[in-house]
Amino acid sequence: MKLSELLYDIEVLESTADGDLEISDIAYDSRAVEPGMVFVAVEGYVTDGHKYIGGAVKNGAVAVVCQRKPEEAVPYVLVEDSRLALAKISAAYFGQPAKSLKIVGVTGTNGKTTITHLVKDIIEKVTGEKSGLIGTNENIAGDKVYEAERTTPESYDLHKLLREMADSGCKYAVMEVSSHALITGRVEGLRFEVGVFTNLTQDHLDFHNTMDEYRDAKARLFDVSNTAVINFDDPVGSYMKDYAKCPVVTYSAKNDEADLVARDIKLRQARVDFCAVEVGKIQRIELHIPGLFSVYNALAAIACCEALGMTLPDIAAALKECRGVKGRAEVVPTGTDYTVIIDYAHSPDALKNILRTVRGFAKGRVVVVFGCGGERDKGKRPKMGRIAAELADFVIVSSDNPRSEDPEQIIEEVVEGMKDLKTPFKKITRRPEAVRYALSHAKTDDVIVLAGKGHENYEVIGNQKIHQDEREIIAEFFASKNKQS
């Protein structure tokens, strides 16, 4: 593809590159550059791609798109924002795949992964059409499943996935849209058929600085959506409704003023059921995922799929067949007289949700193992400690991706929020050891919640990503126990 074809939708400030230059591919990481590629130097929040132009040229880059003139002797295209340019160049390179897909975007602190999976399943069950999926757990394009490195991929990787979806026969794409992605332009150029807002609770303040900034980042989704679906029970739900300039559908489990309301809610050990009520419509809904948060997730999925043109009875029939997502209130089979649940809860509200859900059906103690990530919002650490101590009967504070921080110092900051409460707790720095301790001290009818890791099968310690799957730790524990007996 010619360079001029990649740049047709970009305002170029200055260029020394020949528009007829043939470009074999695009790279935003200098290490991925091969001969014939164009390198896009992106200013990141950790490092600056302009520092690596020399490496890109050495690896064979034939041109560079940048915000500052390169010192190296290389044809360049100067733009105001190279990150936004990367999104537009990528869309052009992959033939504008987003235009052949109906795209659903889900943003919010919690619930994104489950809602996207529910919407994907409903679409495929009701319409018979294929839907791709992009999110925290995995990326799915046709019959191929890829490991996800971040909630929303960088724009080049995103358009590459969308191209693969379109080529594999997908008519829809359902994706999680992080606040980071909305701020940094990863979804620049996409138009969402439906944009969904789930909720806003403290998270990522290391990136956004304030809750208002975090809220406004999430709200940007509605600048590029045809229909907005908004949780009206969230404290910022009214703000989001007022912000959105597109048609809005609100949902609620409390407020009859919402467009879609859950009534007669029944919270059971392994499922929820409720009546979905709209003007002139009522439908009994059954979803085999426990917890009040599952009611909200179901409401979001219902409102989204109705906005896509599906009927409430068809959606209800599809939801009844849906099951949980790996690492979200996932019950691990152990064959014991106690229960082990793995959940991705790593924010205060998410931890509160899973512990309240378990509290609602647990016959014995509620035991929680959790920690807080290093190099992330430190303000939530004592808050999560307090939530754990208020809602659990025994707390084990451990590590959860300490990164370059001292894991024992993180644990002390978590424990600070527990000190004026009487709930017994234990500090165990190494996560596998903490899991084994919880299992070896379990009693009949206990529910052990392993919170924070969810679908993740690794631990980030320093700059190393170490394999660590809690399902494997549990399996090894019982295998060792059986050998001893």
pLDDT in tens, 360-395: 888 999 999 999 999 988 999 999 999 999 999 999
pLDDT above 70 coverage of the chain, percent: 98
- Residue type at 456? E
If phi over 0 gives left and psi between -120 and 50 gives alpha, with beta otherwise, what is residue 21? beta
Instruction: List the single range of 21-25, 197-201, 209-213, 319-323 with lowest mean pLDDT.
Output: 209-213
Q: Which amino acid, 444? A: T
Measured distance CA(122)–CA(322) in Å, rounded: 8
The Cα–Cα gap between 186 and 156 comes to 8
Buried b (16+ CB within 10 A) or exposed e, 187-206: bbbbebbbbbbbbbbbbbbe
Whether the pLDDT of residue 472 is over 80: the answer is yes
Fold of 330-484: Protein-Tyrosine Phosphatase; Chain A (3.90.190)
In contact, 312 and 278? CB cutoff 8 Å: yes
Distances (CA, A) of 77 to 73, 83, 312: 13, 13, 51
CATH match of 97-321 with 3.40.640.10: no
Alpha-carbon span 250 to 228, nearest angstrom: 8
Identical fold for domains 97-321 and 330-484, yes or no, is: no
Confidence band of 478 (pLDDT split at 50, 70, 90): very high
Res. 208: pLDDT tops 50: no
- Between 46 and 28, where is the model more confident? 28
Is domain 3-93 given the CATH code 3.40.1390.10 in the classification?
yes
Pairing of strands 281-287, 194-197: unpaired
**For residue 476, pLDDT beyond 70:** yes
Q: What is the pTM (predicted TM-score) of this model?
A: 0.85
Q: Summarize pLDDT for 99-140 with one digit per residue, the tens.
A: 999 999 999 988 899 999 999 999 999 999 999 999 988 999
What order do you get walking across the sheet with 260-267 strand by strand?
A: 144-147, 138-141, 130-134, 170-176, 102-107, 194-197, 228-231, 248-252, 260-267, 272-278, 281-287
pLDDT of residue 209: 67
Q: Evaluate if residue 214 carries a pLDDT over 90.
A: no
Between CA 92 and CA 394 the distance in angstroms is: 55
pLDDT at 328 (0 to 100): 87
Domain ranges in the chain are 3-93, 97-321, 330-484
Strands 330-332 and 339-343: antiparallel
Average pLDDT, integer, range 413-420: 95
